[in-house]
Structure 1
Amino acid sequence: MDAVFVNHTNHPSAHWAKEELQAARSFGEVMDIGFPAIPSTAEEADIWQLARDNARHIAELSPAAVLCQGEFTYTYALVTELLKRNICVLAACSERIVEEHVEADGSTRRISQFRFTRFRRYGCL
């Protein structure tokens, strides 16, 4: 099996900029595994169980790296579980470019653009 880069976010790789795709492909073939919807009512134990279940599923793919970003407590739990399995976990780093427009009524409209710059590792070398 060829090397795999798992994208575990709410952002399908089909919509990524070429720079991000190129950086991901340096680890292997990009595979999207959608980030779960985490209800605000979920208990911590439920989040950890979901993270353990997803970590097992992701580990079966023997990924070279996993990009994991989303709801904070689940992300923390999944990163912890994947690192226990010696799987490299990444976060995407980007520059935030903001345009501000003052409207005729005095309100301010902001347009944010995020430009990928690199992946940063969570405790893996």
Structure 2
Amino acid sequence: MLINLSNHPATSWGAPQRAAAAPYGPIEDWPFPAIPPEWDDRQVAALAQRYARRITDRLREAGPGPHAVHVMGEQTFTCTLVRLLQQKGILCLAATSHRIVEEDPTRGRKIAYFRFVRFRKYPVCLQSS
């Protein structure tokens, strides 16, 4: 199973991204939580702990793997959650893409498109002292 913890549901993914996710089996979309900018480190860490427990429980329920979690969102929460999941031996992935920008200077617009390239494993995130 691949848990897609992002604000981009798998139904919006193109064929290359769905193909890259296929080795993990079914994809389960989880919306990325809204992280208030006023929160301090402890509040972010507490939410990450809750998500780590939910994800661990869900992957256990899913049975034998391979399993992975695609985590894309607010950076401090992502870093904290990835570290917690890695401590439990859970593979965490980020999507990489080419950013294609079209500019229309006459209208003052800029449109960005993202073309998926691959999933990349998060490096081991260590707890700082």
Q: TM-score, normalised by structure 2?
A: 0.86
- Which of 73, 78, 97 matches 1:75? 78
1:8 alignment counterpart: 5
2:48 alignment counterpart: 51
> Does the residue aligned with 2:79 lie in a helix, a strand or coil?
helix
> Does the residue aligned with 1:60 lie in a helix, a strand or coil?
helix
Greater mean deviation of Cα atoms: 77-86 or 58-67: 58-67
Query: Deviation of residue 111 (structure 1)?
Result: 1.3
C-alpha distance after superposition, 1:54-104 (max 9, x if no partner): 01110112261000010010001100100000000000000001112220x
Tell me the number of residue pairs that the alignment of Structure 1 and Structure 2 aligns. 118
In structure 2, list runs of 5 or more residues that go unmatched.
Answer: 60-64, 125-129
> Does the residue aligned with 1:82 lie in a helix, a strand or coil?
helix
Does residue 1:40 correspond to 2:37, yes or no?
yes
In structure 1, list runs of 5 or more residues that go unmatched.
Answer: none
Q: Distance in 2 between matches of 1:35 and 1:102?
A: 33
1:95 alignment counterpart: 98
RMSD: 1.3
Percent identity of equivalent pairs: 40
